[in-house]
Chain A
């Protein structure tokens, strides 16, 4: 078996980051005027746009819940999002799973009972993928929901931690995701720091999980700052045309 490439050399990751650094993160809110709320997230090489519509009429009508809004989430990977081949359009098993865990994160914070018999749609389109699309998607969706004025108990921030070459690291790059030893994406409610999204694969000791969670809290705090700044910017600087 060929010797695997090292991901961490002299304490530095391949892209020069320390284990706790997150990749450059840019967030813009209110980028899709026709959506009720929207956000664009550029995180490392990820470019993700999210648009929220609702509360609106539930389709199909028989799917409506008479006590609360139905939250729907569609996470989609564009066929041009990866450096490799042109992918196929449409949902995949992976995108279906991600749509579910992202929806379940927000079901914890959106005040659904205030809008019975309606649906709220979260549409996430990954235009460029670079590892950590689901955490970037959650980050975008929280901003889009706040931008829409959809009532929530809390803001949600998200980051993936993991392990590469035996070192616990924050915000895995695509290379670290593919070749590392563990990937643990998660999302927090900002105020209570409850885990709203939590998945992992690979092998981690109990201590490594604890260390990862600590690191994640710090990184997620940085993400929250960027989310807040993006939302405030609309009012401080006015609406601007955005570009990728």
Chain B
């Protein structure tokens, strides 16, 4: 039997048992279907970065760091700064994370969070222009420190919190003066994401590891205060009605997270 077939069989066995609990209206950890685990953020945790934050959703924990460097702009956008997002699924964070070059899960995480921030257009990249061939580049690093399910929303939360913690460094003679700052990074309404999994017909918000292992469908929806700014469906499928219902929930959950970051 191939490993894929084994995974499917195990997933079905686990799902059968979970459905019995879901029928009672609760999940394994006692939550309602549309309930997030307790979330919190701590900003300014990395003194060597220009901005940073740790986000916890339940026991899942992600560190986001923001650092600036001088970069050359893209040739087709010579007056605009750049930003890029990188993620690491640290092997210490879970027995299933391996060492080695980034694989599809890590790459997807970085790109989904990046898209949320980029689409929300919250960073004024024009303000990063220094002089010809020199712009400020912003690096967001997402370090997953503990994987207890849904590192996607936790990463998005950490990234948004880290950006609100970020100070733009002083630039003199085309060089960054580390430790001296122009002022806080100006931002628009931050993006936050909500990840949904469907387990045997039940939509669950903010999945734990157990729930991820048996998901039939997974979709992440990122929202600002007024807009959907990014979406990513992983495995499975959903109807238009299900998508719209999830979008409504995502706006609510996004605003809850917004209060945590602003509070």
Contacts and interface: CB of A to CB of B under 8 A. Distances in A.
A34 B146 contact: yes
Interface residues of B, number: 36
B148 interface: yes
B46 A80 contact: yes
B59 A33 contact: yes
A78 B64 CA distance: 12
B148 A34 contact: yes
B139 A47 contact: no
Contact of A51 (B42, B47, B92, B139): B92
A82 interface: yes
A127 B63 contact: yes
A85 B67 CA distance: 8
Nearest to A54: B95
Contact of B54 (A84, A89, A121, A244): A244
Contacts, number: 93
A34 B54 contact: no
Consensus secondary structure, chain B interface: strand
Contacts of A56: 95
A129 interface: yes
Interface in A100-138: 121, 123, 125, 127-129
Consensus secondary structure, chain A interface: loop
A35 B68 CA distance: 32
A86 interface: yes
A35 B92 contact: yes
Contact of B92 (A45, A49, A82): A49
A82 B141 CA distance: 14
A172 interface: no
Contacts of B54: 243-244
A49 B45 CA distance: 13
Contacts of A50: 92
Which 6 pairs from chain A and chain B are nearest by CB? Answer: A51-B92, A123-B92, A244-B45, A80-B65, A86-B67, A243-B42
6 contacts: A32-B146, A51-B91, A78-B65, A80-B46, A81-B48, A244-B45
